[in-house]
Amino acid sequence: MMNRTFVRAAAGAALSLTLIAATSTAAAAYPDRPIRIVIGFPAGGPLDQHARLLTDKLQAVLGQPLIVDYKPGAGGSVGADAVAKSAPDGYTLMLANTGVAVINGALYSKLPYDTLRDFVPVARTAMQPLALLVTPKLPVKDLRQFIDYAKARPGQINYGSAGNGGISHLVPEMFKTATGTFMVHIPYRGSAPAFT
């Protein structure tokens, strides 16, 4: 089922790219050169893995190479800024997560771009579930036991995230508020470093 969903999303993205290109450059066949896909996070994380799968499928459909360009920093804002400043010709695209597309605009008082003005959504290519994972060394077997354990040890449990202000940071903060627990946030520079 996951594979079928992915193929449909990739086909939808390819169709969307083709339609956008057709309306912006009716005279030229699109694409006639490689397409750059910018990711505002380091290699090895979920967006990188998704991009690798997506580009393999899209290259076959579009007949041009898709080059993944990593521009990590500031919760994806460095990459988003690079895309916002690129020519609006369909040859520089951004693979963004919820943080880049939604959260950063609310979190940061000043960004070098305007999400609503500078970007046009083309296709949703994935949905990313979130899970609460703990080390098997903790003496807990379910969520209730974990909450009780954390409440009894305020500030003694750490949790890692892909960086400040992203979904992997804000959801645990909401969890802490909802459960009355206090855990220490350890921000990493992307998802891949957070898991190692």
Does residue 62 belong to any structural domain of this protein?
yes
Does residue 132 belong to any structural domain of this protein?
no
Does residue 136 belong to any structural domain of this protein?
no
Q: Which domain holds residue 167?
A: 143-195
Per-residue pLDDT of the chain (196 residues; tens, 9 = 90+): 445 554 455 545 554 554 455 455 555 689 999 999 999 988 988 889 999 999 989 999 999 999 999 999 888 999 999 999 999 999 999 999 888 888 888 888 899 999 999 999 999 998 878 888 899 999 999 999 999 999 999 999 999 988 888 888 999 999 999 999 999 999 988 787 887 7
Does residue 127 belong to any structural domain of this protein?
no
| 154-181 burial: b if 16+ Cβ within 10 Å, else e | eeeeebbbbbebbbbbbebeebeeebeb
Does residue 90 belong to any structural domain of this protein?
yes
CATH number at residue 156: 3.40.190.10
CATH number at residue 58: 3.40.190.150
Residues 106 and 161 in one domain: no
Contacts of 5 (CB under 8 A, 6+ apart): none
> Into how many domains does the chain fold?
2
